[in-house]
Amino acid sequence: MSKPAERWIGASVPRLEDLPLVTGRGRFAGDVDFPHQLHMRIVRSSLAHGRLISVDTAAARAMDGVVAVWTAADIADLPPIEFREGPIEKLAPYRQLVLAAERVRYVGDPVAAVFAEDPYIAEDAAECVVVEIEELEPVLDAAATPVEYRPGLDTESTICRQGYGDVDAIFADAATVVEIDVSIGRHSGVPLETRGAIGRYDAARDVLELHGAAKVPHRNRESLARMLGRSTAGVHLYEGHVGGGFGIRGEIYPEDVLVLVAAMRLGRPVKWLEDRREHMIAANQSRQQRHRIRAAVDGEGRVLAIDDDFFHDQGAYLRTHGSRVVDTTCGILPGPYRLPHYRVNGHVRMTNKTPCATYRSPGRFESNFARERLMDAVAERLGLSRVEVRRRNLIAPREMPFERPLVALGDDVVYDSGRYEALLDKALAHIGWDALERDVVSRRAAGEYFGLGLAIYVEKSGLGPTDGARVNIHTSGEIEVITGGASVGQGFETVIAQVCAEVLGSDYRQVRVIHGRTDRIEYGIGAHATRATVMTANAAAVAANKVRAKALDMAAQLLQADAADLDIADGRVVRKGEGEGASIGLGELAHHLRPTSPTRGDRDPGLTAEGWFNTSHMTYPYGVQIAVAAIDKDTGAVRIEKLLIAYDIGRAINPMLVEGQLVGGFAQGLGGSLLEEFRYDERGQPLSVTFADYLLPTAHDVPNVDVMLTEDAPSGVNPLGIKGAGEGGIAAAGAVIASAIDDALGSAGTITRLPITPQYLKATIDAARAAVRV
């Protein structure tokens, strides 16, 4: 499969990382073992809210094979888990302790840790720890009036306020005001690999190691070093294979801190693997918001202002992200619309449920749902089509780059490029919207509940500020790229290899990509916020270009040619335009550049270079999703008959992987729209603790997703022109499914809440029919 040098970018080549995965030779957290390791089991609160009276560990400690049992008192020297982006004084009191002391605030709150010779004994012993809790009234509704969280602080930890323009004046004079009250259910990324952490202290090197890291190993290294009072030089994190990241994996949780502290204090490696039930109560949940949102609209359907007051159910603590999901919701909510005036108040409300943080497309799944529900409501009120009302509000290409005085993920919001209406037109044509509208008329006339839905959205990607990579060509000719990036299974290695191969005129299979290792490269920001490809690929291109220049310079000397007349093809430096003739391989050039080489001259040793890519702004891909849905009127079951994702990616490095990201993301979004929900009873007991109660979509439930990729608006903020794909499939899934089902019901505005259950639809249909009969 040898290709001409320029062809790797844009080629749907197979993934490099698959061989070990499909042959069962991957290394996930569960596969990591060290001699003499102990196993940790966490004892968790069984009540949602209460005063912790006592934790009696005597019986557990007395058991054979139990090495230690810790409560909060044993680790009183540890600070609460910190925010990744640095201290935020106002929010600090809402952070989670590694083990709860005095109060428990959700079912699952860790109160003790058992360390034992094997995981069975650890679990037996955990059952013998007697926890006495005086139950307190749980807070379960984030929209209710705040109450006390701790003395002097209430359950509204903060309000994120953003906006611009004169919203009050616009609403006062508006021709039409449309208001809705919509909610997103609590759900989250539920990777099939549960979390795992293995702590090991290597006294020989005085290094504390955390295995099972993911997503942000370098950032977590800094936080952990600070929490444990160690130098970062003596802390290393190792990422293995990751069986699903989705934002929730790879954050610092209490268990990560515990295995490290225990490895130091007990002098043995400590392994912890989360079980599924734990995962469903302990790992970050997400999404739960209620928006009271209204639009001021002029006579032509132009949305002049949006005013949104929303309540974010944060759960028991603020974890590593602080209030980021709410900030992002505020910053991204206006989406692709011009929207001259905007005001939003995001209430971050503490409740007695599992803490929430980011899940794939945080803040956008929610805000796209709220905003697009609002746009449908505007269309309905004005008697305009849903397409037309959107068309009248889209930002035009001539307005790009489009600056919005808002902030998302700490960045000023500046849409770098976009041709929104062109994508809308392409999507409508691709799926045959007009014909579908005729189908709706005829199938409804035949008694079916059948409808179309539409959502337009702007995604964000490529969060900076920087990323680096080092490219090193070995004397074998193999190219090693050492990155501070991380892989959560998205194809990171493949795309980075493609970019390097393209620059270096080599085969992408000659490129080995290192990631997630703090001991190989000093800095890295990892894989989150759809940043890895944009940032690391651009950094790798910078480094590879430097290596290329060095290779050509060395080759020029050896081939007695001018470097400008040379090119690299198939891993060999050749004279431009010459098929035959003298050539020299990259490996040979590396050999000439080794430290002891007499031909090296005064060049620095090694065919290697480091490159950095810095950016001050994110890049904004965008999409249109269209769904066709039918409801079974006897059962309320929904069938998505067609689903289109039209997405402008700027420039696709590997279209197959982009499609994979979009389709996989949509499948998850469908889960949150129709199936998945973490529910709690009136005492705050979690009801969705197994896969029998928390329904993930399966192959049966996910429709064929048609993906239409366009490259009409390359990014202007990075040299490769690329935008991210990781979250584009899920971002508008709730919005588009709700729109289609609403349409199928034939009574606009009925769908105000996700997930949409068959029971709800059945009751809605029956009520509507009864009303007709009356």
Partner 1 sequence: MKPARFSYHLPATVDEAVALLAKLAPDDGRIIAGGQSLVPTMAFRMAQPPHLIDINGIAELNRIDVEGDIVRIGAGVRHAAFEAAGAVPGVTGVWLGQVVRHIAHYPIRTRGTFCGSVANADPASEWCCVVAALDGRVVAESASGTRRIAAADYFEGVMATSRRDDELVTAVELPLLPDGTRCGFAEFSRRPGDFAIAMAMTAYRLVDDLIVEARIAIGGAEPFPRRIAEAEAALNGQPPTAAVFAEVAAIAAAAVDPMEDSNNTADYRRSLVRAMTLRALEAAA
Q: At what angle do helices 420-431 and 433-445 cross, to 10 degrees?
A: 50
Report, in Å, the least distance between residue 701 CB and partner 1.
6
Binding mask 576-615 for partner 1 (x = CB under 8 A): ----------------------------------------
When the beta carbons of 173 and 766 are compared against partner 1, the nearer one is 766
Distance of CA 435 to the CA centre of its chain: 36
Binding characters for partner 1, 689-728, by CB under 8 A (x = yes): -x-xx-x-xx-xx---------------------------
E strand or H helix at 66? strand 66-71
Q: Which position among 33, 85, 102, 127 is part of the footprint of partner 1 (CB under 8 A)?
A: 127
> Residue 563 has what DSSP assignment?
G
Among 134, 759, 767, 769, binds partner 1 (CB under 8 A): 759
Interacting stretch for partner 1, rule CB under 8 A, among 17-25, 210-218, 270-278, 715-723? Answer: 270-278
Residues 6+ apart with CB under 8 A from 376: 386, 739, 742, 748, 749
Question: With respect to partner 1, which residue has the nearer C-beta, 388 or 693?
Answer: 693
Instruction: Confirm or reject binding of residue 763 to partner 1 (CB under 8 A).
Output: yes
Least distance in Å: CB of 155 to partner 1? 25
Q: Which stretch binds partner 1 (CB under 8 A): 272-280, 359-367, 507-515, 596-604?
A: 272-280
- Distance separating alpha carbons of residues 417 and 722, to the nearest angstrom: 11
Rounded to a whole number of angstroms, the minimum distance from the CB of residue 138 to partner 1 is 17
Q: Which residue's CB is nearer to partner 1, number 549 or number 767?
A: 767
Contact between 277 and partner 1 by CB under 8 A: the answer reads: yes
> What element of type H or E holds 544?
helix 532-559
Q: Which is nearer to partner 1, 526 or 636 (CB)?
A: 636
According to CB under 8 A, which one of 22, 53, 549, 687 is a site residue for partner 1?
Answer: 687
Least distance (Å) between residue 591 CB and partner 1: 53
- How far is residue 581's CA from residue 756's CA, in Å, rounded to a whole number? 67
Question: Residue 662: helix, strand or coil by DSSP?
Answer: helix
Using the rule CB under 8 A, is 12 a contact of partner 1? no
**Does 192 participate in binding partner 1 (rule CB under 8 A)?**
no
- State how far the Cα of 461 lies from the Cα of 312, in Å rounded to an integer: 23
Quote the least distance from Cβ 384 to partner 1, whole Å.
Answer: 36
The binder of partner 1 chosen from 109, 124, 727, 743 (CB under 8 A): 124
Q: How far is the CB of 110 from partner 1 (least distance, A)?
A: 17
Q: Is 742 helix (H, G, I), strand (E, B) or coil?
A: helix
User: At its nearest, how many Å lie between partner 1 and the CB of residue 483?
Assistant: 35
- Dihedral over alpha carbons 270, 271, 274, 275 (to 10 degrees): -120
Distance, in Å, from the CA atom of 102 to the CA atom of 96, rounded to the nearest integer, reads 12
- Total residue length of the chain: 774
The 3-state DSSP class for residue 75 equals helix
Work out whether 635 is an interface residue with partner 1 (CB under 8 A).
yes
Q: Which amino acid is at 146?
A: P
CB 647 within 8 A of CB 713: no
H-type alpha helices, 409-530: 420-431, 433-445, 492-504
Q: How far is the CB of 449 from partner 1 (least distance, A)?
A: 14
Interface with partner 1 (CB under 8 A), residue from 2, 4, 76, 120 = 120
What are the tokens at 640? 């998505």
Q: Based on the number of CB atoms within 10 Å of its own CB, is 161 exposed (0-12), middle (13-18) or buried (19 or more)?
A: exposed
The nearest distance, CB 700 to partner 1, in angstroms, is 4
Q: Is 119 one of the binding residues for partner 1 (CB under 8 A)?
A: yes
Backbone angles phi, psi at 524, to 5 degrees: 180, 150
Contact in structure between 90 and 152 (CB atoms under 8 Å): no
What is the SS3 assignment for 639?
strand
What are the percentages of helix, strand and coil residues in the chain, rounded to 5? 30, 25, 40
Map tokens 């796209």 to a residue: 368
- Residue with structure tokens 């290779």? 551
Residue 418 and residue 235: Cα distance in Å, rounded? Answer: 43
Contact range with partner 1 by CB under 8 A, out of 67-75, 123-131, 411-419, 496-504: 123-131
Q: Number of residues interacting with partner 1: please give it, by CB under 8 A.
A: 29
Placement of tokens 């102990």 in the chain: 38
Considering the complex, state which of residue 708 and residue 733 has its C-beta at the smaller distance from partner 1: 733
Is 768 a binding residue for partner 1 by CB under 8 A? The answer is: no
Reading the block at residue 338, the tokens are 């011009």
Position 123 contacts partner 1 (CB under 8 A): yes
User: Over the Cα atoms of the chain, what is R_g?
Assistant: 28
Site string for partner 1, 666-685 (x = CB under 8 A): ---------x---x-x----
Q: How far is the CB of 629 from partner 1 (least distance, A)?
A: 16
Residue nearer to partner 1 on the CB measure, 317 or 694: 694
Question: What is the Cα–Cα distance from 543 to 705, expressed in whole angstroms?
Answer: 37
The nearest distance, CB 288 to partner 1, in angstroms, is: 17
Phi, psi of 656 (to 5 degrees): -60, -45
* 637 part of the interface to partner 1, by CB under 8 A: yes
Token pair, residue 189, equals: 């990324």
Structure tokens at 712: 């009409």
Judged by beta carbon, residue 431 or residue 675, the one nearer partner 1 is 675
Nearer to partner 1, 89 or 634 (CB): 634
Out of 276, 438, 576, 639, the only residue in the binding site for partner 1 (CB under 8 A) is 276
| Min separation Cβ 687 and partner 1, Å | 5
Q: How far is the CB of 112 from partner 1 (least distance, A)?
A: 17
Give the interface segment with partner 1, choosing from 214-222, 484-492, 561-569, 628-636 (CB under 8 A): 628-636
773 lies in the binding site for partner 1 (CB under 8 A): no
Please, which residue, 164 or 760, has the CB nearer to partner 1?
760
User: Is residue 3 a contact point for partner 1 (CB under 8 A)?
Assistant: no
The letter for the amino acid at 64 is: D
Structure tokens at 62: 């007395």
Closest distance to partner 1 from the beta carbon of 696 (Å): 9
Q: Which of 141, 173, 179, 275 binds partner 1 (CB under 8 A)?
A: 275
Q: Give least dist CB 65 to partner 1, A.
A: 12
Region of 490 on the Ramachandran plot (φ > 0 left; ψ -120 to 50 alpha; else beta)? alpha
Note the residues at the interface with partner 1 (CB under 8 A). 119-120, 123-124, 127, 275-277, 634-637, 675, 679, 681, 687, 690, 692-693, 695, 697-698, 700-701, 758-759, 762-763, 766
